[in-house]
Amino acid sequence: MSSCQFKKRLLVSSIAMALSGSFATSLLAAEAEQSQQDSDDSEEETVIVITGIRDSLKANLSQKRHANSVIEAITAEDIGKFPDKNLAESLQRVPGVTINRGFAGEGNEVTIRGVDPQLTQTLVNGQFVASTSWFSLAFNRRSFNMDLMPSEIVSGIEVHKSPTASLDEGGVGGTVILKTRKPLEIEANKFFASAEVMKNSFESDTAPTVNGMYSWKNEQDNFGILAAYSRAETIGFGNKAENYWEEAWSASGISQFRQERVRDTFDINVQYAVNERLSFDLHYFESTLEADNTNQNFLLFGGCCSPTGGLSTFAAGSSSTVSPTTGIPMAGTLIGGGSNWVLAQDVNSRRPELKSDLVDFTVDYEGDSYKFHGSVGSTTASGGNGGNVNSLWGITGTDTRWLGNGGNVSVDFDMTLASGMFVNVNGLDLNDPNWQGNLAASLSETTLYDEEDWLQVDLEFDMEWEVVETIKVGMKARDHKFGKSQTNFTVDTNAILGANSTLGSSGFYSGGINVSGVMASGSDMVIAGVGSGFDSAVRSNITGATPLYAAFGDVEEEISAFYVQADFAGDYYRGNFGIRYVETDVTGSTFADGNDPTSRFSRTSNYSDVLPSFNLAYDLAEDTILRFSAAEVMSRPAYGTLNPALGGINPTSNVASSGNVAIDPFRANQFDAGIEWYFGDNNFIGAAIFYKDIESFVTSGTIQDLVFEPNGDQGAPNDLELYTLTVPIQGKGGHVQGIELNYQQLFGNFGFIGNVTISDSEGETDDGSKFDLPGNSELSYNLTGFYQVDDFEARLTYTFRDEYLAEGTAISGSLDVFEEQGYLDGGVTWHVNDYLDLSLEGINLLEETTIQRHGTGTLGTNRVTTENGARYYIKAAIRF
């Protein structure tokens, strides 16, 4: 641990003791007499209970209407009744918000107003929560992993589209705040429990979930404890047709991804209100996610080593289409006859366990003309892939079974389709395990971690000025550290396989896998499965472990922020203006020599930002509000962008890739104007225009730098060579602009909610090239209709977004196009009595198939076509 890290943690601990000890004692003494008077004069608090769709929507509109800045709100109908199972999928209902979906088809990344989802900041009760990833090739994300947060413990979500000086910096797109419940804000002895069963339409198995919450407070309403627990099992599923022949990793094939997740979550909140002036709050959150998964690929390899060498493998006279990017054939008949061609099953199984926790201690004190808020806390996360077991089963290009080597095996294929692909193997049954020999077996483990300590102090002063009502000042110090490491293991393949030469004789064959939904007509439909027994066998026969120092990356950010903000109001207007100043010191560490643990070195950088903001709400009429906002915003670079570790080292051509600790953050100037008409108690029409002038963004380029080679090309190990490094660099700039339209109205027992966002974006590189920015759909909308009576509720929602650019998988990092997507979700709830609810929900009822196309090379060819199926939930819940 660095001395700086130690000192900062010591400072945080000392102040925590001061806040909870001597500071509290002095306040108690000073307010002892006032406490009795406050208690005698206090009135019973009015609690608003939200029990249905109408009340929830009314609370959402009330929060939006009375906010000084541009926000959207989602409020739970009741405890344990958030609108969706997945928080990201709830957010897609918000105007200007779209989402990306992960491997299993569930929402996992949030885009606000067409800005890359990595530039969306997510906070829990206003604080960062550390989280990690499970995918082998991925780094951590700055946004909180929403898979770790059960929707049942969330009371509401705020989406801040315009910032304020008092809000943490970090969201060029916007800031999402997840809010959990507090015991003094709800009734005493409130109890909630539910049991649920989930089923995927492509899978016969089911997965259970149980949730529970109990909240207690004393008769004086000044001390309370809330405890919540959730255990959720989820089955994730995806059939895929994957085509990577437009990239250096030239392979295509049929894939099935399956993930069985088990999440255990604890949420505990303790509140003590000494009197009406002084209160303490201790919040602890912990979530552990086991995300075992298997990705099985039936692959057609080709041209990985010599792109032009693959041409000779086609039968004479056959037609073929060749990629202009790689020179690799994309259609034709493969007959083998070369070492570059392999027909194989590539199976990857992982056993990740992700853990995130947070502890946040706050003190609030209200004086005669000021308010004090203090927060000290820490959050940590650990994760990674839990060990990736890889096995390869099949035949090589030199095998005598190939037609080109005198056999009868050939493959007809077409990778030029806009969706799916055509693959037909002649002479072999894909579901027959007996022709598939083991070509390789390995185990590699990636470990990720993320942590942050913080200290925050906020003061709010009541002003007697004519216009300015309050002045807010504050500071926040954060010590943020994240990193990635990798260990490669050797395994005894003889002990695993013995004399067994094929998948069939090995005992690891698990039956056929049907992937017909993503294949073109005439393709082989069923492939042989490799069971989980192989994963266990590999882990039981490890013979050694070697840290891969070249893959190690460790980055520390020391962040200091200061702000001042004025809240103003008049007869017909209100708002705020302020400025936030932020300094960020960055230190990145890695190893110069991937085999030498003594070769660790560090690089440093620093930057500062001055972030002004202004928000105005003007009452044109009693029910009509005009809004305007302007601000400068920033988002720190992605973790992987900063990671200084080297990758892709090629001693022959002296090229490699690396992160860049010195990269600057994303910065933008943004403007927003809108009009809102609130007619009736629960009816609303709104329109807004927005513009983000992006001053800087991150792209890739090359630099020259010295690199240690583990095996130098001049024969001397560990020699220092001049390399061309592909590194992140600053882009020139760009913009995102658009319009949002929003409508909500009740019609007796029926209701309708609809919103539309139209936007466009453009980025520019140093050479003047123009391109659309990732994450932006030119058109997106969502429509919800609902029906509610005393004992019954029903809701149906359709969400659409048209095509958009998104980052490719970690294999290439290239930009690719996702085609338009539409999802239909629905649910019904029967309120059996005052205590029991029964509900049925369906997600992706139309079983939407998603299509990702290549954005470079042969434009329009399929990259990944995926079907995830529908998800169904049956739930029983009790409340009293």
**Nearest to residue 186, comparing CAs of 227, 231, 129, 126?**
227
DSSP letters of 446-501?
A: EEEEEEEEEEEEEEEEE--SSSEEEEEEEEEEEEEEEEEEEEEEEE-HHHHHTT--
User: Over 90: is that where the pLDDT of 521 sits?
Assistant: no
Whole-number pLDDT of residue 9: 43
In a domain, 32, yes or no: no
38 in any annotated domain: no
DSSP structural state of residue 569? E
Above 80 in pLDDT, residue 104? no
pLDDT score of 655 more than 80: no
Q: Tell me what pLDDT residue 308 has.
A: 36
Burial bucket for residue 159 (CB in 10 Å: 0-12, 13-18, 19+): buried
Is the predicted pLDDT of residue 18 greater than 50, yes or no? no
In the structure, what pLDDT confidence band is assigned to residue 27 with cuts at 50, 70 and 90?
Answer: very low
> Model confidence at 398, in pLDDT bands (50, 70, 90)?
confident
pLDDT, tens digit (0-9, with 9 covering 90-100), for 733-749: 788 999 999 999 999 99
Q: How far is residue 797 CA from its own chain's centroid?
A: 23
Q: Can you spell out the DSSP letters for 817-865?
A: EEPPEEEEEEEEEEE-SSSEEEEEEEESTT-PEEEEEESSSSTT-EEEE
Distance, C-alpha 753 to centroid of its chain: 26
Q: Flag whether pLDDT at 476 surpasses 90.
A: yes
Most confident stretch, 145-149, 294-298, 726-730, 752-756: 752-756
In a domain, residue 833? The reply is yes
Which pTM does this prediction carry?
0.86
pLDDT mean over 79-83: 67
Q: How large is the average pLDDT for residues 452-477?
A: 95
| Radius of gyration, CA atoms only, the chain | 29
pLDDT in tens, 401-443: 888 788 888 888 888 888 888 888 888 888 889 988 888 899 9
Q: Could you tell me which of 731, 730, 554, 773 has the C-alpha nearest to residue 642?
A: 554
pLDDT of 220 > 70? The answer is yes
Distance CA 405, CA 725 (A): 41
As to burial, measured by CB atoms within 10 angstroms (0-12 exposed, 13-18 middle, 19+ buried), residue 813 is middle
Number of domains in the chain: 1
Mind listing the pLDDT tens digit for each residue in 850-861?
998 887 665 678
Question: What Å distances lie between residue 47 and 77, 167, 188, 472, CA to CA?
Answer: 14, 27, 11, 28
Q: Provide the strand spans (E) within 184-250.
A: 190-200, 206-217, 223-243
Rounded distance, CA 328 to CA 309, Å?
Answer: 9
Per-residue pLDDT tens for 549-560?
878 889 999 999
Q: Which of 64, 183, 4, 126 is nearest to 458 (CA)?
A: 126
Tell whether 565 is covered by a domain: yes
- How much is the pLDDT for 23? 42
796 forms beta bridges with: 785, 826
**pLDDT higher than 70, residue 47:** no
User: Lowest mean pLDDT: which of 183-187, 326-330, 514-518?
Assistant: 326-330
Domain assignment present for residue 488? The answer is: yes
Q: In which band, very low, low, confident or very high, does the pLDDT at 99 lie, cut at 50, 70 and 90?
A: confident
Give residue 638's pLDDT: 82
pLDDT, residue 285, reads 96
| 3-state secondary structure (DSSP) of residue 485 | strand
Q: How far apart are CA 535 and CA 432, in angstroms?
A: 20
Residue 621 banded pLDDT, cuts 50, 70, 90? very high
Residue 6 belongs to some domain of the structure: no
pLDDT in tens, 522-550: 776 788 888 889 999 999 999 999 988 87
Q: What is the mean pLDDT of residues 52-77?
A: 84
Predicted pLDDT at 325? 66
Task: Using the predicted structure, report yes or no on whether residue 5 has a pLDDT greater than 50.
Answer: no
Q: At what angle do helices 22-41 and 3-20 cross, to 10 degrees?
A: 30
Higher pLDDT, 593 or 447: 447
- Mean of pLDDT values over 334-363: 86
Mean pLDDT of 277-294: 95
Note the pLDDT of residue 807: 59
Q: Retrieve residue 378's tokens.
A: 């820490």
Q: Is 440 exposed, middle or buried (0-12, 13-18, 19+ CB in 10 A)?
A: exposed
Residues 788-811 have pLDDT tens digits of 998 999 999 999 999 988 754 333
For residue 755, is it within any domain?
yes
Q: Quote the pLDDT of residue 611.
A: 97
Give the pLDDT of residue 559: 97
Please state, in angstroms and rounded to a whole number, the distance separating the CA atoms of residues 268 and 259.
29
pLDDT at position 593: 72
Mean pLDDT of the chain: 83
Mean of pLDDT values over 263-280: 96
Whole-number pLDDT of residue 809? 39
Angstrom distance (rounded) from CA 15 to CA 201: 53
Task: Please indicate, yes or no, if residue 30 is contained in any of the structural domains.
Answer: no
Task: Tell me: pLDDT of 213 over 70.
Answer: yes
Q: Is the pLDDT of residue 131 over 80?
A: yes
Q: What element of type H or E holds 614?
A: strand 600-621
Element (H, E) at 370: strand 370-384
User: Which of 195, 515, 142 is closest to 345 using CA atoms?
Assistant: 515
Tell me the per-residue pLDDT of 302-320, one tens digit each, with 9 for 90 and over.
Answer: 654 333 333 334 443 344 5
Sign of CA dihedral 251, 252, 258, 259: positive
Q: Are 751 and 786 in contact (CB under 8 A)?
A: yes
- At residue 31 the predicted structure's pLDDT band, cuts being 50, 70 and 90, is very low
Residue 125 has pLDDT above 90, yes or no: yes
pLDDT above 90: percentage of residues in the chain: 44
The residue segments making up the domain with residue 685 are 44-879
Residue 327 belongs to domain with CATH number: 2.40.170.20
pLDDT at 371: 96
Confidence of residue 250 (pLDDT cuts 50, 70, 90): low
